[in-house]
Amino acid sequence: MNSGFSVMLRADVRRILLSSSLALTMVLLASIASLLSSAVVEAGVSKAVERLQTGSALTLIEVSAEAEHTTAVLDEATLEKIETLDNVTSVYPWRQVSVLLADESDWPDSQLNPGVISLTPVVPGLTSKVIVGDDDAIETIGDGQIVLPQQVMGGSLEQTVGTTVRLEYTRVVSVGTGEPGYFPLQVTAVADNSVPDKSGPTPAYVSQKTLNTFLELTSPPGTKLEPPVTAYVQVGSVDEVAGVQANLSQMGFDVSALATQTPELSSTLDILALGSTLLTYLTVAVALGVGLSLASSWTKLRRRDIGLLRALGYEKMTIFRLIMGALALVGVSVGLLAVAISCVLSPILTAVVSSQDALNMSVSPWSFPSVGALVLVAILPTVGMLLGAFLPAAKAANMEPDEALRD
């Protein structure tokens, strides 16, 4: 009887695979989509974790000497002292200089002055995304170079990339007296400024040396530069932020961790993770429907066979096992095929997303889905199909021989 059972089981598996290819393809595609989205999310998380550990906004502490209760100043000696604190990797004094684009030929609209542009120092983790130019144009900016904002009054500044622009500033001749001054800088890129932040609506990134030059040019002759009122302190990892923050507070500064100010950093990943979860639920739902459909159609097609098997002495549980076993083998086949295809496609997909910077997020290229995701998707079609098939399979197994053989 066991030999006959095996023969019938193999025959049923072949029949299901051949007659239900469209339904099984739906389960397969849902499983692959779930795994691929999971791979992108996990690659994004991996890249985000890497950035969180070094060089990200979440490892920055904002130090201010502007609040009334602060008792310290951010002069050179103090900045050097901060840099010697345990777990501090870098200190970035922060201030801005307002300038104008001097030449109408550089304006998007020659009839409309694009307005004030704020020269801003480069602080890793606080810079904008480059729209036109090399991706690392801000991080590698040199003296005499500038990354302009993409949008200003009148339109886009993308046409200035690769050119030299003249910036107009107010040169202080004496206290209360100034005149226009001009300074040329090479435009290496333009950056996204669609979402204004602390840097203002139109920040333009320059090196610290270039910024200091403008600070000197816009200060009264013979005067010493005022110390900045804001600086950013970079620590080695997120775990070290609290300790360094406490030390800075004891020095008399008003401090705040950027980790509490940047909830939007994970929004893209949150959306992708939600999509991946929904696709997983979709896989289960499709598998449930397919299991229900296949079990019901199997019962109709094999009604007389069930009657003959019952008449030959096969137990109800044997009939039930035959139906469920066939669907389980089909489900396992679909799940393993989805895993195999996803393992081929996911490295390619994550590499494409990484190289094209799709989804406005960085991901680790050539990434595979996690072992947990692979195991989950490998068994989801089987579980879904068995759950969907349970009731019709139980009903078929409980048919009496005369009922099953009756037309």
**Which of 189-193, 264-268, 287-291 is most confident?**
189-193
Token pair in block for residue 250 = 């004891």
pLDDT band at residue 263, thresholds of 50, 70 and 90?
A: very low
User: Is 181's pLDDT higher than 50?
Assistant: yes
Q: Which residues of 18-48 are buried (b: 16+ CB within 10 A; e: fewer)?
A: eebeebbebbbebbbbbbbbbbbbbbbbbbb
DSSP code string of 227-273 = PPSEEEEEESSGGGHHHHHHHHHHTT-EEEEGGGT-GGGGHHHHHHH
- CB of 72 closer than 8 Å to CB of 251: yes
Token pair in block for residue 252 = 């008399």
Give every CB contact of residue 178 below 8 A, 6+ residues apart in sequence. Answer: 170, 171, 172
Q: What is the pLDDT of residue 392?
A: 87
Share of the chain above pLDDT 90, in %: 40
Q: Is 2 exposed, middle or buried (0-12, 13-18, 19+ CB in 10 A)?
A: exposed
User: Is 347's pLDDT higher than 80?
Assistant: yes
pLDDT band at residue 264, thresholds of 50, 70 and 90?
A: very low
Distance CA 247, CA 235 (A): 12
Q: What is the pLDDT of residue 265?
A: 41
Instruction: Tell me the per-residue pLDDT of 49-72, one tens digit each, with 9 for 90 and over.
Output: 555 444 467 789 999 988 777 778
- Number of residues that this document lists for the chain: 407
Distance CA 28, CA 24 (A): 6
- Who wins on pLDDT, 40 or 81? 81
User: Is 167's pLDDT higher than 90?
Assistant: yes
Q: What is the pLDDT of residue 115?
A: 95
From residue 285, give the alpha-carbon distance in Å to each of 38, 103, 195: 18, 62, 39
- The sign of the CA dihedral 204, 210, 214, 219 is positive
Mean pLDDT, rounded, for 280-292: 84
Q: Which of 345, 343, 341 is nearest to 27 (CA)?
A: 341
Q: Is 250 exposed, middle or buried (0-12, 13-18, 19+ CB in 10 A)?
A: exposed
User: Is 359's pLDDT higher than 60?
Assistant: no
Distance CA 367, CA 345 (A): 10
Q: What is the pLDDT of residue 266?
A: 47
Strand order in the sheet with 254-257: 88-94, 230-235, 60-64, 254-257
Token pair in block for residue 190 = 């333009």
Q: What is the pLDDT of residue 7?
A: 66
Mean pLDDT, rounded, for 116-121: 97
Instruction: Tell me the per-residue pLDDT of 1-41, one tens digit each, with 9 for 90 and over.
Output: 555 556 666 777 777 777 778 888 988 998 898 888 888 88
Q: What is the pLDDT of residue 314?
A: 82
List Cβ<8 Å contacts ≥24 apart for 243-249.
Answer: 243/86, 243/87, 244/61, 244/85, 244/86, 244/87, 244/88, 245/61, 247/85, 247/86, 248/61, 248/63, 248/82, 248/85
Provide the residue ranges of all domains of the chain, joining segments of one domain with +: 2-52+266-405, 55-263
